[in-house]
Every structure is written in structure tokens, then in C-alpha cells.
Amino acid sequence: MGKATGFLELDRQDRSYADPKERLTHYKEFIVPLPEDKLKAQASRCMNCGIPYCHNGCPVNNIIPDWNHLVYEGDWKNALEVLHSTNNFPEFTGRICPAPCEASCTLNIDDAPVTIKSIECAIVDKGWQEGWIEPQIPLHKTGKAVAVVGSGPAGMACAQQLARAGHSVTLFEKNDRMGGLLRYGIPDFKMEKDLINRRLMQMQAEGVVLKESTEVGVHVSMESLRENFDAVVMSGGAEEARQLTIPGAEKSGVRLAMEFLTQQNKRNAGDDEMRAAPRGSILATGKHVIVIGGGDTGSDCVGTSNRQGAASVTQIEIMPKPPVRENKALSWPDWPMKLRTSSSHEEGCERDWSILT
């Protein structure tokens, strides 16, 4: 795969970010992609591994060495076909997946894995630019009808696959826009929502019927779904947040991350404040913000708070501070426990560990 000596000749080079001072002034994506020649060079670093551990690391089993090799050869269209064979929406994963494939890469033993995520994103972005991505309309219909409940990434992918198999698919979503966590949980600066809209248009052309603002159990009953559909897929997310059972947690300044993030995404989508925040606005402007929880959701709250103009942001984590570099002999090719600093952290944030709220 790739160039036999590529990993010996070339160092790892990944996408860069716009300057924090510039990107904090807006909610748009700020990744600076690599030019095509650099991407081909990075793809050449993919080794002809006897066992490609990246397959094991990837949750959707992307055929990574194959499309790396095709990019190295400049065959982007076939690379896109291979990528789409296992992944309905690589433009989503190419932006927000934590890339466990790179942690599993053989070259990660030396902390220089192939830039798999960047190459994946470049393949699908080029596919859209070139007009290669079109609706895949089934030649024959099965006569079967399927209801898919929940339009997050699982529901969207399920609906698309079932429609391409020839079934009549209706996708139900309780919110006013499709996308689930992708739409309202992921900040726009990590993934702009036109990417979701573009895929929904493709799905509609393939025959998927979209039913927004339709909550199963409220607006339509399960009994009616069973009566009118041959199968029902339940692909709803888990939205019940874990509350803090400590004195003071009921105070007005203590708010849930998903409510905070959803409000800002709705503002970005053009909703007025009453629609974006029917239970009252949550804004970090001029405030000293504490983010409880050191994971990705907490990081998203850090980035959103800074864009809203917080006076300061502090993120606390219950676990001890992890090592900067993992012990490869104990962790590779599994997902390692190590210190991760996100782009939001780099924009301004104090972090502390071993803190029990």
C-alpha cells in the first residue's frame, strides 16, 4: 500500500487551524486543509502492514489502506467509492471522529500515524466538489415500508441504506430539524450544518420521507407505526442527563451542557431567542464559567463559552491528569489513556484534575 518507503522518507503532516484570535470571532469551521499534493504524500506513508490494525480501530470498519493507496495514486473517485462502501457520511466522521484508527496505526508506535482522518475528509470533500456524489435510487421497490425513529447519525445511515435496498422509508424526528446530536450537540465550529442538509437532500431524492417535529409517543403512537409499517427501527439517542446530586445544583447558574450547546446552534441557524431558548437564555458572556467534565462535550462548552465572550473558563475533571504520552507497550493498538488538548482548550481554558464536585 502507498509507497514502500514512504513512511521512511516523509514525516507526518496534518491539517492546521486558523489563528485562535480570528476563529473566536465566529462559529464556522476553522480547519485549514492540506493541499492535494501534500495529501498524496501523506497517503504514501501508509505501510503494507501484514495486519492493518487501523481496521480494528475504526468503529465502522473503513477499508483504510485501500483508499490511502488510491489517493497516493491520484485515483480519488475510486477512493471515494471504497470509503462510501463502509461509511455513509465520511464528511461527518472526517470532522468529528476522534480517529481511533490513527491510535491503532502501526506508525503510531513512534507517535507519527498516517493522517487517516484528514485524508478521509479530503476524499469526500473532493467528491462533493467534483459532483461525484449523487442519489443512489433503487431500480426496484420491495413494497415494504419501514419507520425509522430518531434522525441522528445512526437513524440517517439506517434510513439511507434501507431506502437504497428498495424499501419505503419514513424518518421521524421530534426536533424541528433533522440530525439529532449532529445538529444540536456538535458545535458549528466543529461541523457546519449545511453538511447535514446536503445529505438530507440526497436521502430525499433516494425516496426517504422526512418527518420533523414529530415525536413518537406524542404526535404519533407506536400502535400506528406498527399498523402502517412493516418494520420499525428505534434509533433515538439517550438524552437524560446525569444530574449533580449535591447542594446548590438547583441554582439558576447551573445548567446542562446539551441545553447550552443546543441554544447556540439554534441561534446560528437563525432562530430568534424565544425559539432558541424557550426556557430562558444561557449565555457565558462576561461570566466566569466552570465546565464540569473533561470530555469532548466539556471541550465543546469551552469553545462555545469563549466565542460568547466569557470572562474566564475553567474545566474540571474527576479523574487524575493522564500522562502526556501513553505507554505504547501496554496500550497499542488500543485506544490509549493520555492527555488530549483540543482546539477549544488552545483557545483559552484552565484545566484541573482529580476534582470531585
Kindly report, residue by residue over 75-113, the tens digit of the pLDDT: 999 999 999 999 999 999 999 999 999 999 999 999 999
Q: Check: CB of residue 115 under 8 Å from CB of residue 137.
A: no
How many angstroms separate the CA atoms of 343 and 332, rounded?
A: 24
Q: Check: CB of residue 1 under 8 Å from CB of residue 68.
A: yes
Domains of the chain: 6-130 (1.10.1060.10), 145-234 (3.50.50.60), 257-352 (no CATH)
How many angstroms separate the CA atoms of 340 and 334, rounded?
A: 16
pLDDT at position 83: 98
Kindly report, residue by residue over 220-260, the tens digit of the pLDDT: 999 999 999 999 999 998 888 888 899 999 998 999 999 99
Region 13-23: mean pLDDT is 96
pLDDT at position 13: 97
pLDDT at position 241: 87
Region 145-166: mean pLDDT is 98
Kindly state the percentage of the chain with pLDDT values over 70. 99
Q: In sequence order, which residues have a C-beta less than 8 Å from that of residue 70 and are 6 or more positions away?
A: 76, 78, 79, 82
Region 285-294: mean pLDDT is 97
168-172 and 209-211 beta bridge pairing: parallel
pLDDT at position 133: 98
How many angstroms separate the CA atoms of 71 and 81, rounded?
A: 12
Task: Please name every residue paired with 351 in a beta bridge, in sequence order, or none if there are none.
Answer: 315
Written as nine digits, the cell of 15 is 491539517
How many angstroms separate the CA atoms of 334 and 328, rounded?
A: 9
Number of Cβ within a 10 Å radius of residue 296? 16
pLDDT at position 1: 63
pLDDT at position 287: 98
| pLDDT category of residue 205 using cuts at 50, 70 and 90 | very high
| pLDDT category of residue 48 using cuts at 50, 70 and 90 | confident
Kindly state the percentage of the chain with pLDDT values over 90. 92
Region 40-61: mean pLDDT is 93
H/E run at residue 209: strand 209-211
SS3 label, residue 156 = helix
H/E run at residue 148: strand 145-149
Kindly report, residue by residue over 170-192, the tens digit of the pLDDT: 999 999 999 999 999 999 999 99
pLDDT at position 2: 67
What is the per-residue DSSP string for 9-27? H------EE--HHHHTT-S
Number of Cβ within a 10 Å radius of residue 217? 10
Q: Check: CB of residue 73 under 8 Å from CB of residue 39.
A: no
pLDDT at position 240: 86
